Amino acid sequence: MHNYKSLFDLTGKTALVIGAGSGIGQASAQGLAAFGARVFCGDVNAHNNAETVRMIAESGGQASALAVDLNDPASLAAAFTETGAVEVLVCTPGINVRKPLLEISDEEFDRVVNLNLKGTFRAMKLYGKAMAERGYGSIITFASIRAQVVEPGQGVYAATKAGILQMCRALAAELGPRGVRVNAIGPGVVETPLTAQIKNKPDWYAAYAGKNALGRWGQPHEMVGAVLLLASDAGSYITGNLLMVDGGWTAIDGRFTPPL
C-alpha cells in the first residue's frame, strides 16, 4: 500500500529557486524548505536573498544564498558549482515592458526576451543535463496566463511566456525517458514586484480583480501548492504540463484593456 502521507515530503532533496529574493520565488523557497528540502536561494539582489534565507532559517528550514543572474552564463555556472545536480529547479524571474507592439524598441525587445526566455533556457539546459545524467529531477518554470491569452501591451512578454511553455514541453519529451519531469506554472494576476505598477492604479487593479472567477488578485503564497505538487512525488506522473493557477481567469476569458 502506498504511503500517501509522504507524497509531498521533500526530506533529503535539494532545490534551487532562482528569483528567491521576492514574490513567487521567495514564497516557493519557503514552501519547499517547509516540506524538508534543502533550498539554494538564487537571486541578483543579495539583500533580499539573504532575507529569504533568514526567514527559512527562522522557521527551522535549511537554506543558503547564491548570487544568480540569468543574463550571465558565468553566474549560472558558478551557482552550479555550489549546488551540483539538484533534484528540483524552480525558475521564476521575469520582466515586462508594457507598450503597444509597434512602440517597442529593439533594445526593449531584447531585454525582455534575454531574461524571460533565454535566461530560463540557460537554467533549464544546465540543470536539465545534470538531472538527466543522474536519472531524476523536476524542473518547474513560470509561464503565465499570457502564454495563452493576451491583451494590448503584452505582445513581447506573452511571446516569451508562450516560448517558455513550448520549451518545457519539448524538454519534457526529450528527458522523460531519463526520469526528468518538466512543467510550467501559469499564474494569473498576482501581487508581486512585477505588478506593482498596476496596484498603484486603483482602476486598473480593480479591473483585473474583476476579470477572474474569484474576483480578486492572487498572492505569492497561493502559487506554492502548485510548486510543491510538481516538485514532489505527488506530481510523479505530471510532465509537459501548464498548470494554471489563475483564479479562473482563462476559464472565463478575463480581459481588460489597460491604459497604455
Residues with active-site annotation: 157
* Edge-to-edge strand list for the sheet holding 62-67: 62-67, 38-43, 14-18, 88-91, 137-142, 180-187, 242-245
DSSP secondary structure of 167-209: HHHHHHHHHGGGTEEEEEEEE-SB-SGGGHHHHTSHHHHHHHH
The residue length of the chain stands at: 260
Q: Read off φ and ψ for residue 247, nearest 5 degrees.
A: 65, 20
**Residue 137: DSSP 8-state:** E
What gap in Å lies between CA 1 and CA 33, rounded to an integer? Answer: 27
